[in-house]
A and B are shown apart, each in its own frame.
Chain A
């Protein structure tokens, strides 16, 4: 199956069928740090993905200018 990864954006191939959790394990991606999307659909970890599926593994951690509440 085709797996779209982010930061940077790239596509990798993973053999299937396999569950979402197995795919993430194979890619060494922590389950709590991503969501998995197929088309417009959110797919949970126990979903069986077909060999010809296309999914996106979308990171959820964002950083940047988190507030420090001090007067400027």
Chain B
């Protein structure tokens, strides 16, 4: 297996590109694809400050590394979600990466600062764990970005993530979600700009990137994600991709180019209807935002203990 660029021994094959790459040219490909996405969708401009949502997993650490490599002023934000050993280890990887790059990592611990953790909050609010987790992340990333004066929040959503979410949104025709499924969402009152610079890269590439760059990351799956519908969508799409390399890319970028705009009419109406949360001031369609309602329901709830599913690194 030879590198397409230099004919030296390759370390990875990428079937949708019908090509193999050596270490040097693969890392260059990753940087180029991020730079291309940033430029194509006008995600970031020179000199802007970026807050990277860091989980300790491969995507967020690769994203942080790539943005630093490309010269952006990028700080990290790690949320302590309180998911047992999984969260403890994830935090260790985030801190180790920050220390190795001399980068700034901001940490927010849900239990210490808001009195709940994801397992407890999910049960108290009768939400699926991934729902309570996603809600907490969105709210706290937004808050940290606004409070810290950052120009944008960058998340590690990759091509596989976006294709899987799109698949689910199309499967159930969630018009509102389809309208917002974009690689960049502009800032508006109370919300920072949101960017997804990894949309041109798959998750296998991100795992390979971390290994080749010597980035240690949380390999184990979140113990609360078992049965998550997005995992099923990813498996379904991977079956299609195996027979038709490039299908995921065509699905997602075809949507952006040909269909995305048709779902956006509803956004303007909704934006006009937003209020300011009477407790925290965050933009919300109701008097009290969903995050503050979650905090309220979780207050005083019996803590839920999460064990270790399998062993971790």
State yes or no: do A and B come from one complex: yes
Binding site for B on A (CB under 8 A): 6-10, 30, 32-35, 37, 40-46, 58-72
Asked whether A60 and B177 contact (CB < 8 A) given A7-B221, A45-B1, the answer is: no
- Which one of A6, A33, A62, A66 lies within 8 Å of B58 (CB-CB)? A62
A69 touches B208 (CB 8 A): no
Contact with A along B1-43 (1 / 0, CB 8 A): 1000000001111010000100100000000000000000000
Asked if B204 CB lies within 8 Å of chain A CBs, one says yes
Interface of A is mostly: loop
Q: How far is the CA of A18 from the CA of B55 in the complex (A)?
A: 36
Q: Which chain A residues lie closer than 8 Å to B206 at the CB level?
A: 60
Q: Is B219 an interface residue (CB 8 A)?
A: yes
Q: Are the CB atoms of A67 and B242 closer together than 8 Å?
A: no
25 pairs of residues in contact across A and B, judged by CB atoms under 8 Å? A8-B309, A8-B310, A8-B311, A9-B310, A10-B310, A30-B242, A32-B15, A32-B204, A35-B204, A35-B208, A42-B11, A42-B12, A44-B20, A45-B1, A45-B13, A62-B58, A62-B203, A64-B221, A67-B165, A68-B174, A69-B180, A71-B285, A72-B135, A72-B284, A72-B289
Q: Tell me, yes or no, whether B161 is within 8 Å of chain A by CB.
A: yes
Assess whether B290 is in contact with A69, with CB atoms less than 8 Å apart.
no
Chain A residues whose CB sits within 8 angstroms of the CB of B137 once the complex forms: 65, 67
B220 touches A44 (CB 8 A): no
B58 surroundings in chain A (CB, below 8 A): 60, 62
Contact of B192 with A by CB under 8 A: no
